[in-house]
Amino acid sequence: MLAHSMPLASAMSVEEYLTLESTSSGKYEYLDGQVSAMAGGTLDHDRIANNVRIIIDAHLGDGPCVVCGPDVRLRVSPTAYLYPDALVICDETISGAAIEVTGPCLVVEVLSPSTERDDRGVKFAQYQAIPSCLEYLLVDTQHQVAERFYRAEPGLWLYQRCTADEHITLQSIALSCPVTAFYRRTSLLTTPTP
């Protein structure tokens, strides 16, 4: 997701939301009748999200899985539609012209001060409910820190925090890379103290 969202005043039906999406030049997220307009972000936020997608895309190569985001809408459920910063899907039947996908194995959100609460709370709960979702990666924009949540078994998610001097391994796509790779060409040069 981009830097922050701004809730719209009234609840909408799914049909009204999809009409809004198809007729508007903006992007909107939808959670159980509540619509949020997506707003722009910082250069560092954009660079980090691009770096994550580039690293994942290079790793996936020409295999069956592809990385998407943030212009591809994720249908989480019949009443939840989100725009993660990145996600990986392994469904070869999806058309290249698709504007909406389902069934990611990995979802990535780049944190910002205005989105962190939602990314850790309501969105994480939504992503956990997707049976195919095996991992959720949060990448900080304030410090070189990546946090990985992974499904160990049904109903049990484990947590790993990695800092600039560590590698992070995304088991869902068999990728290991240094955390610093996510921060290439950004102003983030320090990590927080424990």
Which CATH number does the domain housing residue 96 bear?
3.90.1570.10
52 within domain boundaries: yes
Question: Across 1-10, 17-26, 177-186, which has the greatest mean pLDDT?
Answer: 177-186
What number is the average pLDDT over the span 78-86?
96
pLDDT at 1 over 70: no
pLDDT at 7 over 60: no
Give the C-alpha separation, 98 to 89, whole Å.
12
Q: What is the pLDDT of residue 2?
A: 44
Position 54: which residue type? I
178 within domain boundaries: yes
66 within domain boundaries: yes
What are the structure tokens assigned to 159, written together?
Answer: 């947590």
What number is the average pLDDT over the span 56-80?
95
Give me the numbers of helices (H) and strands (E) for the chain, helices first please. Answer: 4, 14
DSSP 8-class letter at 42: -
pTM over 0.85: yes
pLDDT at 3 over 60: no
What are the structure tokens assigned to 26, written together?
Answer: 């903006």
Residue 163's domain comprises 42-74+83-183
pLDDT at 45 over 80: yes
Q: What is the pLDDT of residue 5?
A: 47
Contacts of 127 (CB under 8 A, 6+ apart): 76, 107, 133, 136
Q: What is the pLDDT of residue 98?
A: 85
Q: What is the pLDDT of residue 4?
A: 41
Confidence of residue 9 (pLDDT cuts 50, 70, 90): low
113 within domain boundaries: yes
22 within domain boundaries: no
149 within domain boundaries: yes
69 within domain boundaries: yes
Pairing of strands 175-178, 66-68: unpaired
Contacts of 154 (CB under 8 A, 6+ apart): none
192 within domain boundaries: no
Number of domains in the chain: 1
